[in-house]
């Protein structure tokens, strides 16, 4: 199923005029769960578009299993690149993506992506549900730095990070945060094969100190239905903190024995909660 845009993108339309009607396709790594039957898709179908937002030290490929499964079930899916530059600017970017989608949207966020969708959905009337996958769900005025240290158990400490300065357009200097190679697997993805986490570590996308420390605005979870998948073996965001954020948001909570990346180590459980949210608002 293709994604319908609210307004034409003139430049892109000119370039691909001869390719009108082509469907968007992403590569995936797993199939839909056996219990899910592929629904009939008619030309008048208006299923919610599922927008998957990754967090720091990751990229959109972490959602490959969900993209494949959800598309096989007939749902339109997009997994945009999260800029990882700052909470308000990242939320503005994801909101701009949502703004181009005609019809209802279910926003799904992993880790820092949860903070982004909490802010991006504010003022986006077509967002009908929020889904948090081992994610931050901050309240107004809270930062990731505050939440990650709320309870013991996180391995995301100053000693686990590499700081790398980078130039910003106004001439000042920002600072990017990377996870050290020796800590990456145990802190982030301890239930994945080492050969996989070695590649994830080498290709990790850093996120800035600004994103880690910027306070959240008023969150959309106060008025938008939410679902939360707690990763009970998470060494990045302590499970106790995840439970606290989920309860505070009034979310529908599921739990899975997984590291910080359940969408990769427990793809069926992750797809299941996304489907639960999507079907509840369809």
Which pLDDT score is estimated for 170?
Answer: 87
Which of 49-62 are b and which e, b meaning 16 or more Cβ less than 10 Å from the residue's Cβ?
bbbbbbbbbbbbbb
Which pLDDT score is estimated for 18?
Answer: 39
Which pLDDT score is estimated for 61?
Answer: 97
Average pLDDT for consecutive 10-residue bins of the chain (282 residues)? 43 37 35 40 68 98 98 98 97 98 98 98 97 98 97 96 94 96 98 98 97 98 98 98 98 98 98 98 92
CA distance 129 to 108: 8
CA distance 145 to 152: 13
Which of 199-212 are b and which e, b meaning 16 or more Cβ less than 10 Å from the residue's Cβ?
ebbeebbbbbbbbb
The predicted model scores a pTM of 0.85
Domains with residue ranges and CATH for the chain = 47-281 (3.40.50.1820)
For the chain, what is the radius of gyration of the CA atoms?
Answer: 18
| Assigned token pair, 77 | 């899916």
Which pLDDT score is estimated for 46?
Answer: 80
């Amino acid at each position: 199923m293709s994604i319908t845009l609210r307004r034409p993108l003139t430049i892109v339309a000119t370039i691909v005029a001869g390719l009108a009607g082509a469907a968007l396709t992403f590569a995936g790594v797993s199939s839909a769960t056996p219990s899910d039957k592929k629904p009939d898709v008619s030309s008048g179908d208006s299923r919610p578009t599922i927008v998957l937002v990754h967090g720091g030290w990751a990229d959109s490929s972490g959602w490959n299993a969900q993209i494949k499964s959800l598309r096989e079930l007939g749902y339109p899916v997009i997994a945009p690149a999260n800029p990882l530059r700052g909470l308000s600017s990242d939320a503005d970017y994801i909101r701009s993506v949502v703004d181009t989608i005609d019809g209802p949207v279910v926003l799904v966020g992993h880790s820092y992506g949860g903070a982004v969708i909490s802010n991006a959905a504010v003022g986006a009337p077509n967002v009908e549900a929020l889904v948090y996958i081992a994610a931050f769900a901050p309240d107004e005025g809270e930062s990731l730095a505050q939440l990650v240290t709320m309870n013991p158990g996180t391995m995301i400490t100053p000693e686990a990070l590499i700081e790398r300065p980078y130039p910003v357009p106004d001439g000042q200097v920002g600072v990017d945060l990377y996870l050290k190679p020796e800590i990456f697997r145990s802190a982030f993805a301890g239930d994945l094969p080492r050969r996989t986490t070695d590649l994830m570590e080498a290709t990790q996308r850093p996120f800035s100190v600004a994103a880690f420390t910027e306070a959240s605005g008023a969150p959309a979870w106060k008025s938008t239905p939410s679902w939360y998948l707690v990763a009970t073996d998470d060494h990045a965001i302590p499970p106790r903190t995840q439970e606290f954020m989920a309860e505070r948001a009034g979310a529908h909570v599921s739990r899975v024995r997984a590291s910080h990346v359940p969408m990769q180590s427990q793809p069926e459980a992750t797809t299941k909660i996304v489907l639960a949210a999507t079907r509840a608002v369809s």
